[in-house]
């Protein structure tokens, strides 16, 4: 959907105010407060974002697209094990750098058509990576793309709950990979 220039500027202000809240650790995204911080009425906020979930998905869209691109690279990697590892690492790093994406990936349903399309694409490409890894004998035969999504979301949560995120991310990802390997 193409927005008029003034509407696009207003949308950008609202997204910036919402990003600032997330950066401050507020994932609740109070629509009234964000509208006020963006200098718009709450009605304008709801015209652009029908719900908090729609706002969150809009915030995560760019990171979600980047993750889909990483998944495509993983699917094309001639080294199957490296492709799988790269996909899992990209999924974890994306969630650690974008709290909105982490919350969207953990959600059971989506509000926005764009998010649904990205989810289906990520699932399709992830399945390619997983199928290749299964056929090569690298991955356990019972692992599904949803298992990988849920486990990565869980590892992200575990990493955030501790101290040194970089060290913990590598360690926990290694533990997860060893459990997934055939």
28 lies in the same domain as 79: no
SS3 28: coil
Task: Say how far apart CA 23 and CA 37 lie, in whole Å.
Answer: 14
The reply to whether the predicted model has a pTM over 0.85 is yes
Per the structure, the complete domain to which residue 160 belongs is given by 54-180
Q: What is the pLDDT of residues 50-71, one digit of tens each?
A: 999 999 999 999 999 999 999 9
40 lies in the same domain as 93: no
CATH number at residue 59: 1.10.357.10
Task: Say how far apart CA 73 and CA 78 lie, in whole Å.
Answer: 10
45 lies in the same domain as 83: no
Domain count, the chain: 2
**DSSP structure class, residue 139:** B
121 lies in the same domain as 35: no
89 lies in the same domain as 165: yes
CATH number at residue 15: 1.10.10
60 lies in the same domain as 133: yes
The distance from CA 178 to its chain's CA centroid, rounded to whole angstroms, is 23
58 lies in the same domain as 44: no
2 lies in the same domain as 84: no
109 lies in the same domain as 61: yes
Q: What is the pLDDT of residues 2-33, one digit of tens each?
A: 668 888 899 999 999 999 999 998 989 999 99
83 lies in the same domain as 17: no
Question: And the tokens for 128?
Answer: 């390619």
Task: Say how far apart CA 73 and CA 101 lie, in whole Å.
Answer: 19
72 lies in the same domain as 130: yes
> pLDDT tens digits for the chain (182 residues)?
566 888 889 999 999 999 999 999 898 999 999 999 999 999 999 999 999 999 999 999 999 999 999 999 999 999 999 999 999 999 999 999 999 999 999 999 999 999 999 999 999 999 999 999 999 999 999 998 889 989 999 999 999 988 788 889 999 999 999 999 98
100 lies in the same domain as 33: no
Task: Say how far apart CA 38 and CA 116 lie, in whole Å.
Answer: 27
């Amino acid at each position: 959907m193409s927005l008029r220039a003034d509407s696009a500027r207003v949308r950008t202000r609202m997204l910036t105010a919402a990003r600032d809240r997330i950066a401050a650790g507020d994932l609740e995204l109070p629509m009234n407060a964000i509208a006020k911080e963006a200098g718009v009425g709450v009605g304008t906020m709801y015209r652009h974002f029908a719900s908090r979930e729609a706002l969150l998905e809009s915030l995560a869209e760019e990171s979600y697209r980047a993750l889909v691109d990483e998944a495509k690279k993983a699917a094309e990697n001639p080294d199957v094990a490296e492709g799988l590892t790269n996909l899992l690492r990209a999924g974890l790093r994306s969630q650690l750098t974008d709290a909105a994406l982490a919350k969207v990936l953990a959600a059971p349903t989506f509000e926005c058509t764009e998010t649904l399309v990205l989810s289906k694409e990520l699932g399709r490409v992830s399945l390619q990576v997983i199928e290749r890894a299964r056929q090569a004998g690298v991955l356990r035969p019972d692992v599904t793309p949803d298992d990988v999504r849920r486990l990565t979301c869980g590892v992200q949560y575990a990493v955030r709950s501790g101290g040194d995120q970089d060290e913990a991310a590598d360690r926990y990802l290694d533990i997860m990979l060893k459990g997934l390997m055939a």
